Every structure is written in structure tokens, then in C-alpha cells.
């Protein structure tokens, strides 16, 4: 396929492999995957990056408690994360681990460069440290003497350390938000960050000497780089940037370091860093300041999404540890379990359709099951089984394009629909032809829920079309046969359009629909969702139902019993 649309680089945060991921973590990755697939379908040359953030005191402590080395510990958890993404059909192009040589050597290079630019100095760190969040806080930042992010206890810490001159970048950061408001969205986050900077930025402690599970500071033994400088750098180290000094890779005995500047040249600056709201601060203040110091271009956009909440609080790994269920609310928060019970597409659809980007939302299994039954089983699944069932019954599955409605072949605009077409055909065809544009508009604004809503308008209209045209009545009489053929072709075409539109969101369902419609497995093209009457002849066959209906009460009771 030609990639005339250019490059598109999208990232997720790199996850802490301190424990298995819960459904809240999958939210961001599912959105990033849908966007990456959407852009690929449109012909963009997409780079979709995810990975794991493996250093820091917390991981070291957990590994020690588990009686294994930190490396052994993260290797095990990371293997599980990669398996999860495989099951969820997450189409990342690269998976970066911060323990890889290709990353470590470049982080040291980044440290060196910022030091040489005069933005790193040695000092004494004294302040409050939240171990679970790996965050340092000043007196004023604490909330009721606790970590302002997670509300847990903080400890007093004092040690020699390196500092990054973040304070020197306050004016340039304010100018960035002012001159390029699209750099940070939603607006509420931008306002928060502007206020945060105006309160006064302190220099940032970027090394520690009290633990050793980290990348060594390249200019002094006994210090390791503090996780955020390490972590944020992944977005460029994965692209093979910065270049390593001659022989650096060999000298360090690295085996996984490849000099590949093409990727940096092609994909940087990133089009979007998708991140949760609590780490917007790191991505919109520290990361741009680091890049300014390095003299590298800034990402085009940082987008902060909201949280999935359980019983009003943030979903957390400890709730996962309680056996995959949230307290007293009949909820499953382990994504593996949700997928085993309801399927990947059910989970993806729910995450993308239920929540509004940027806002928090409640997670409940019940809400998910309602969506699955309503939108997936009743609307989409039913449309497919009705269509293929009637095609089989009345025409042995062979449905040809009717000349009366398509005298000149496929239609590319509503204006081209012939006058001879019935009103309900006209309505359905024009809606189908216009849906792709609506989806594009919503996706431009990361409104996954509205994009799906638009597609489901077409699904519902198609079901309504069946009710209006009553194919079973037409079938009773030989005179109705021509019209019956027209009706069944129109429904099949509508399903073909739907199969393309949903592909970025629900990969397996798209494939299943296409199989039942008898369409080949060729690479899909987004443009083909903007024409109606593309298929000359369908050879459809009714297959398994896409989404079996769930007895919600029974299912919730069964979860209770677990």
C-alpha cells in the first residue's frame, strides 16, 4: 500500500512492571491501538510504541521481598504484559524495555548532553519521597503531609544527588502553552499545568544513591538516574536517538544496540503522547524542558486521559491482587479474566464506547455486560445473523448488485443515488456514505466514543431498514423477488461498510463479518467505506453468532460466587 499520507508516531506510557496490569492500564493502550490502526487504514506510516519502565526503588524492594533479582522479577512480569497485549491484538510496532542496552546507553548519553549544556549540577537533596509513586515532593506540594498523587505516607530523604535546572525553563514552558495551546489537551489539564508552573518550578532531583536498580550516572560512580529522566527518554531512545559516541555500544558490550537514525528522522517529533492525567505533569513540563535543553524538537501533543474508577476510587494493582475482583461490587478488574469470559472485542468496545476522553468514569462489569448485550449482541451481531440468514434462505447466499439502483456501478456520493431508489434505500445509502467522514472528525479529536456512536447509527439504521422493508413478506410472492434481492444486497453492502469502519476498534469482529459476507482477506482500505455498491456479488454464509447474549443477572451472581 502506498504511504502517501506520511508518518504518524503515537505512544503509550511505559508501564511499571511492579505487578500485573489491571483493566485501567489497558484503557490507554486500547485507545492508542485503535488510533494506530485507524491511521494505518488511512494510509499513514504509523509507529506505535509501548513498553515497560523497569527501574527504581519500588521494583527493587518488591523483587527483594519476592526473593529474586530485580531483573528476574521484571522479566517475569514483562512477559505477562507482552502476552496480554498479544491476546488483546495490540498492534505496537516496538516494545521498549528500559533495561535494554539500546535504552540504557542512550539515557546515559542524554544525561551527558544535558550536563554539558550546563543544565545538570550536583547538590544535596532533602525532601519528601513517595516510594510507590517514585516522586519527590517539597513541603508545599504535600497534601495533609501525604503524597499529593496517591495519598500515601512519604519519607524524609537527604542525600548527594544531581539536579536538572527545571526552574530555568518556566518562562519557555509558559510560552509553549500560550503559543501552542494544542500541545497539551484537554484544556483543563493545560490550565492546571500553567498554574503549577506559575507557583514556581523547583529544580528536579534526577539521581539517587540510596538504591542501585537504575541506569548508572555516567559521570559518577554510586549514583543511578532517577526514574523519570530514564522513563521519559524512551520516546526517543526507541527511535535510536541520540546517536551513540563511536564505539559506545561495543565498549559497553551491548548486543541490542542498532544505529538507526532513519527512525528518528522519520518519526520524531511524536504526533501524540497518550498519558493518564496524573503523569501529564511529567510529560508536559519535565519532558519538554529536557528536550529544550537537548535542543531537540518537542512532541506535537500530549493528551491526558481520565481514570477508570472502581467504587469511586482509582483502580489499583492491590485490587487486582485481591483475586481480580473489586470489593463488594461484583466487578472483575483483571483484563485476562474479562477477555476469557467475554472476548477481546467486548472489552475493547466497552472501553472505547463507554468513557469520554479526558474524564474519569466508573468501571463496572454490569455496565460492560449491558453494552455487550445491547450494542454488540442485539445490534451488530443480530444484523449480521439476520442478513446472512435471509441471504442463505432466499438466495442460497448469492446476492448480486441490482442494476436498478446501481446502473453505473458503485456510488461515491449521496447525490448519485438514482431517483428510482426507494426512500428507505436512499436514507440508508446516504447515511452509509457519510459515516466515514463523521468517524474521521471524531477521531481527529480522540472522541472514540462518538466515532463508535456514529458507526452504530449506521448499524441501527440497517436493522430498521430490515424492519421497514420486511424481506420475509417480499419472499412470500414471486413479484417481490426483485425487490427482495435489492433489499438483501443493500443490507449486505451496509455490513461491508461497517466491517471496514469497525476494523480499527474491533479487529476480530471485522474479520468475522467479512468472512460471513464472503469477502476476501485482502488488506482493507479506508476509502472503500466511502463507496456503496462496491461488491458485484456477495457469496455469504451464516456463521457463528458474533456476540452470544449474556444473562446478566446470572453472570453477576456467578462472579459473586467466585
Point out which residues bind ligand MSP (CB under 6 A). 13-16, 24-25, 27-28, 53, 231-232, 234, 275-276, 278-279, 307-308, 314-315
Query: Minimum CB separation from ligand MSP for residue 473, in Å?
Result: 49
Kindly state the cell numbers that stand for 420. 428510482
Nearer to ligand MSP, 315 or 428 (CB): 315
Nearer to ligand MSP, 25 or 514 (CB): 25
β-bridge mates for residue 127, sequence order = 157
Q: How far is CA 294 from CA 79, 122, 288, in A?
A: 33, 19, 10
**Long-range Cβ contacts of 512-518 (<8 Å, 24+ apart):** 512/543, 512/544, 512/546, 513/384, 513/546, 515/543, 516/384, 516/388, 516/540, 516/541, 516/542, 516/543, 517/388, 517/492, 518/397
Nearer to ligand MSP, 41 or 308 (CB): 308
CA 347 remoteness from chain centre: 13
Query: Minimum CB separation from ligand MSP for residue 388, in Å?
Result: 37
Nearer to ligand MSP, 290 or 474 (CB): 290
Nearer to ligand MSP, 182 or 318 (CB): 318
Query: Minimum CB separation from ligand MSP for residue 72, in Å?
Result: 20
Task: Give Rg (Cα) of the chain.
Answer: 27
**Cα(386)–Cα(458) distance, rounded to whole angstroms?**
15
Query: Minimum CB separation from ligand MSP for residue 11, in Å?
Result: 8
| Residue among 409, 404, 414, 463 nearest 435 (CA) | 414
Nearer to ligand MSP, 358 or 397 (CB): 358
β-bridge mates for residue 428, sequence order = none
Residue 162 near residue 206 (C-beta atoms within 8 A): yes
- Length reported for the chain: 562
Kindly state the cell numbers that stand for 148. 499529593
**Cα(224)–Cα(161) distance, rounded to whole angstroms?**
9
Nearer to ligand MSP, 53 or 337 (CB): 53
Nearer to ligand MSP, 25 or 281 (CB): 25
Residue 355 near residue 341 (C-beta atoms within 8 A): no
Query: Minimum CB separation from ligand MSP for residue 13, in Å?
Result: 4
Query: Minimum CB separation from ligand MSP for residue 75, in Å?
Result: 17
Query: Minimum CB separation from ligand MSP for residue 150, in Å?
Result: 10
**Cα(524)–Cα(503) distance, rounded to whole angstroms?**
9
Report the residue closest to ligand MSP, judged by CB: 276
Query: Minimum CB separation from ligand MSP for residue 477, in Å?
Result: 56
Amino acid at each position: 500500500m502506498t504511504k502517501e499520507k506520511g508518518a504518524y508516531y503515537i505512544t503509550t506510557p511505559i508501564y511499571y512492571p511492579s505487578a500485573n496490569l489491571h483493566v485501567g492500564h489497558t484503557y490507554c493502550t486500547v485507545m492508542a491501538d485503535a488510533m494506530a490502526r485507524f491511521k494505518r487504514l488511512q494510509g499513514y506510516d504509523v509507529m506505535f510504541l509501548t513498553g515497560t519502565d523497569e527501574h527504581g526503588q519500588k521494583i527493587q524492594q518488591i523483587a527483594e521481598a519476592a526473593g529474586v533479582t530485580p531483573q528476574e522479577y521484571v522479566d517475569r512480569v514483562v512477559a505477562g504484559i507482552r502476552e496480554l497485549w498479544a491476546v488483546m491484538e495490540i498492534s505496537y510496532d516496538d516494545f521498549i524495555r528500559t533495561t535494554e542496552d539500546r535504552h540504557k546507553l542512550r539515557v546515559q548519553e542524554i544525561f551527558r548532553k544535558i550536563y554539558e549544556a550546563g543544565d545538570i549540577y550536583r547538590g544535596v537533596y532533602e525532601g519528601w519521597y513517595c516510594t510507590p509513586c517514585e516522586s519527590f515532593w517539597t513541603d508545599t506540594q504535600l497534601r495533609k503531609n501525604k503524597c499529593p498523587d496517591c495519598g500515601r505516607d512519604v519519607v524524609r530523604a537527604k542525600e548527594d544527588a544531581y539536579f536538572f535546572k527545571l526552574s530555568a525553563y518556566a518562562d519557555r514552558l509558559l510560552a509553549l502553552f500560550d503559543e501552542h495551546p494544542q500541545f497539551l489537551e484537554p484544556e483543563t489539564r493545560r490550565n492546571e499545568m500553567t498554574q503549577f508552573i506559575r507557583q514556581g518550578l523547583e529544580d528536579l532531583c534526577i539521581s539517587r544513591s540510596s538504591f542501585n536498580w537504575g541506569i548508572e550516572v555516567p559521570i559518577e560512580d554510586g549514583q543511578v538516574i532517577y526514574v523519570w529522566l530514564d522513563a521519559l527518554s524512551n520516546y526517543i531512545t526507541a527511535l535510536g536517538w541520540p546517536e551513540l559516541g563511536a564505539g559506545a555500544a561495543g565498549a559497553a558490550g551491548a548486543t541490542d544496540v542498532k544505529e538507526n537514525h532513519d527512525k528518528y528522522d522519520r518519526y520524531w517529533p511524536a504526533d501524540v503522547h497518550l498519558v493518564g492525567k496524573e503523569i501529564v505533569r511529567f510529560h508536559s513540563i519535565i519532558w519538554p524542558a529536557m528536550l529544550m535543553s537537548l535542543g531537540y524538537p518537542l512532541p506535537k501533543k500530549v493528551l491526558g486521559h481520565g481514570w477508570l474508577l472502581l467504587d469511586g476510587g482509582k483502580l489499583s494493582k492491590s485490587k487486582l491482587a485481591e483475586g481480580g475482583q473489586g470489593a463488594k461490587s461484583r466487578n472483575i478488574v483483571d483484563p485476562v479474566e474479562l477477555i476469557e469470559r467475554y472476548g477481546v472485542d467486548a472489552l475493547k468496545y466497552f472501553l472505547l464506547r463507554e468513557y469520554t476522553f479526558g474524564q474519569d468514569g466508573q468501571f463496572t462489569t454490569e455496565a460492560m455486560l449491558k453494552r455487550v448485550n445491547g450494542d454488540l449482541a442485539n445490534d451488530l451481531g443480530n444484523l449480521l445473523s439476520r442478513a446472512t440468514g435471509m441471504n442463505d434462505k432466499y438466495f442460497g447466499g448469492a446476492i448480486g448488485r441490482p442494476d436498478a439502483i446501481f446502473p453505473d456501478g458503485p456510488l461515491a456520493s449521496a447525490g448519485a443515488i438514482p431517483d428510482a431508489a426507494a426512500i428507505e434505500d436512499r436514507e440508508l445509502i446516504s447515511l452509509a456514505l457519510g459515516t466515514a467522514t463523521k468517524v474521521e472528525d471524531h477521531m481527529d479529536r480522540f472522541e472514540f466514543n462518538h466515532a463508535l456512536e456514529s458507526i452504530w447509527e449506521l448499524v441501527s439504521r440497517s436493522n430498521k431498514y430490515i424492519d421497514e422493508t420486511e424481506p420475509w413478506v417480499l419472499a412470500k410472492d414471486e413479484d417481490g423477488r426483485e425487490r427482495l434481492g435489492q433489499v438483501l444486497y443493500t443490507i449486505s453492502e451496509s455490513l461491508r461498510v461497517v466491517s471496514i469502519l469497525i476494523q480499527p476498534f474491533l479487529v476480530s469482529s471485522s474479520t468475522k463479518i467479512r468472512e460471513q459476507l464472503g469477502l476476501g482477506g485482502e488488506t482493507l482500505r479506508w476509502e472503500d467505506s466511502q463507496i456503496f455498491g462496491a461488491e458485484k456479488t456477495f457469496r455469504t454464509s451464516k456463521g457463528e453468532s458474533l456476540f452470544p447474549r449474556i444473562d446478566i443477572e446470572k453472570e453477576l451472581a456467578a462472579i459473586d460466587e467466585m
